[in-house]
Amino acid sequence: MLQVNFLRENKERVLEGLHKRNFKNINLVDEAISVDEDRKKIQFELDQNLAAMNKISKEIGILMKEGKKEEAEAAKSKTSEFKENAQDLQQKLKDLEARLLQILYQIPNIPYEKVKAGSTADDNEIIYQSHDVEGLGEGAIPHWELAKKYNLIDFELGVKIAGAGFPVYFGKGARLQRALVQYFLDKNVDAGYLEVNPPHVANEASGYGTGQLPDKEGQMYYINEDNLYLIPTAEVPVTNLYRDVLLDEKDLPIKNTAFSQCYRREAGSYGAHVRGLNRLHQFEKVEIVRIEKPENSYAVLEEMVNHIKEILTDLELPYRVLRLCGGDTGFAAAMTYDFEVWSAAQEKWLEVSSVSNFETFQANRLKCRFKSEGKTQLVHTLNGSAMALPRIMAALLENNQTEDGIKLPSKIAEYAKFDLIN
C-alpha cells in the first residue's frame, strides 16, 4: 500500500507509474489526497476540542477549590457540550480513516524506473535466454500422455475426488515431486535461507498484509465458517511472520524459504493452455522470501534471479528470463522477473517462477519496520518461486523423453534415487 504522503508529494511520478500499468482509476489518487485533507481538518478540530476540554477541566478544579460552585457547575455544562462534540468528531475521523484505507487498498504499487510501459505479456522484455530452442519433432508426446503412459499422474481420478485441476500422483511421479521439493529446499538452505514450515491457511489480515486482498479475493479459496483462506503461495504466511514487527538493523537481512501446497481457483481459465499440469487449482511450490534494508533491495533482487538461474541450470532445462512490463506486473510489485522453461513437446514457454521486489508496498500494510540509528523506517520485501513444481515437472517429462523412457537430470536423479522412468 502506498502512503498518502507519498501520493501527495510525488503525484506526478505516481500518475506516470499508474499510466505505465494502464491503471484506469487514476482518480483514486486525488480522492485519497482529498479524503486525507478532510481527515486532517477533523483531526485538528478534534485536537482543539480536546484541548479546550482539558483547559475547562482544570478551571473547574480551581473553581471548586475556591468554593465557586455555581461557576464550576456552569463550566461542567460546557464540558458536556465538548464531550458530545468530541464523540461526533471521533466518529467522523474513524469513518474518514476507514474510507482512506479502502481507497489506498485499490491503488497498485508504482513500477520501478526500469519497468517499461506495456499492456500485456507480449510487451515483456526478454533479458536472458539460456539456449536456442526447438521442438522434438514428429512423435513427441506431451506430458499428460507421458504421465498416463508411465502411470505417473492421473488427472481423471483427481476429477473424481475433487474436480479438474487436482491431479493424483503415483509411484515415480509422486517420488519425483518429493525429490524436487527436497532439492529446492536444500538448494535454498545452502544459499543461506532459513527453512520455515508455515500454516497453509491465512486469515484476512494476512491476505491484506501481502496484497492478495482485496485484489485477488475471487481467486482464493475461502473457508466461510472460520473466515480463513487457503494460501495461494507460501509468500502469504511467511511474509506475515513479520506483520506488526519492529526489527533492529542488526536483524536484517532476513532470508526464509518454505514449502507449501498452493491453492488457486483460477476462475475463468479454460482451453488447451490449461491442459495437464499447465494450470492447476492445487500444486506444490517452494518459496523464498527476503526482508531487506531499502538501499539493498534491488541488488538482492538480482541475487535472487541468479539463484533461480542456478536451479534451472541444475535441472538442465532451457529457460529464459523476462522483465515484466507495467501492465503485466502484479498489483503489489514494483518490479518482477518471470522465468519460463521451454516445453519441447508443446513447443511453447511455460512460466515456472516469478521473483519480485515490492519495495515498501507490503511493509506499509504489514507495519513491518526496522530501527537504524534511532530512526524507524519501512523495510523492503521480496519473494520468489524457487520453484513451482507443475510446469517444471511438465518440462522435465517432455524434454527428457527418449525411446527407452524419461532420463532424469543427474542432480534430480540423486534425490529421486532413480534416473530413468520407463
Render pLDDT for 273-286 as a digit per residue (tens, 0 to 9): 678 999 999 999 99
Where residue 62 falls among pLDDT bands split at 50, 70, 90?
A: confident
pLDDT at 102 over 60: yes
Residue 264, marked binder: yes
pLDDT recorded at residue 273: 62
Residue 57, marked binder: no
Residues in Cβ contact with 264 at an 8 Å cutoff, skipping those fewer than 6 apart? 219, 220, 221, 232, 280, 281
pLDDT at 228 over 80: yes
Mean pLDDT of 69-84: 74
Residue 79, marked binder: no
Render pLDDT for 158-209 as a digit per residue (tens, 0 to 9): 999 999 999 999 999 999 999 999 999 999 999 999 999 999 999 999 999 9
Render pLDDT for 357-381 as a digit per residue (tens, 0 to 9): 999 999 999 999 999 988 999 999 9
pLDDT at 79 over 80: no
SS3 content of the chain, % helix, strand, coil (to 5): 50, 20, 30
Residue 265, marked binder: yes
Residue 383, marked binder: yes
pLDDT at 305 over 80: yes
Residue bearing the bigger pLDDT, 356 or 59: 356
Q: Among 57-71, 79-93, 238-252, 400-414, name the one with the lowest average pLDDT.
A: 57-71
pLDDT recorded at residue 267: 64
What average pLDDT does the chain have? 94
Cell matching residue 79? 464540558
Would you call 362 helix, strand, or coil by DSSP? helix
Domains within the chain, CATH numbers bracketed: 4-105 (1.10.287.40), 121-421 (3.30.930.10)
Residue 347, marked binder: no
Query: Residue type for 372, please?
Result: S
Give phi and psi for 116, each to the nearest 5: -85, 155
Render pLDDT for 291-300 as a digit per residue (tens, 0 to 9): 999 999 999 9
Quote the radius of gyration of the chain (alpha carbons, Å).
Answer: 27
Residue 352, marked binder: yes
Q: Strand pairing partners for 382? A: 290, 357
Residue 305, marked binder: no
Residue 233, marked binder: yes
| Percent of all residues in the chain with a pLDDT value above 70, rounded to a whole number | 98
pLDDT recorded at residue 85: 87
Please spell the DSSP secondary structure of 41-87, one letter per residue. HHHHHHHHHHHHHHHHHHHHHHHHHTT-HHHHHHHHHHHHHHHHHHH
pLDDT at 137 over 60: yes
Mean pLDDT of 81-96: 91
**Nearest in space to 400 (alpha carbons), one of 392, 389, 408, 411:** 408
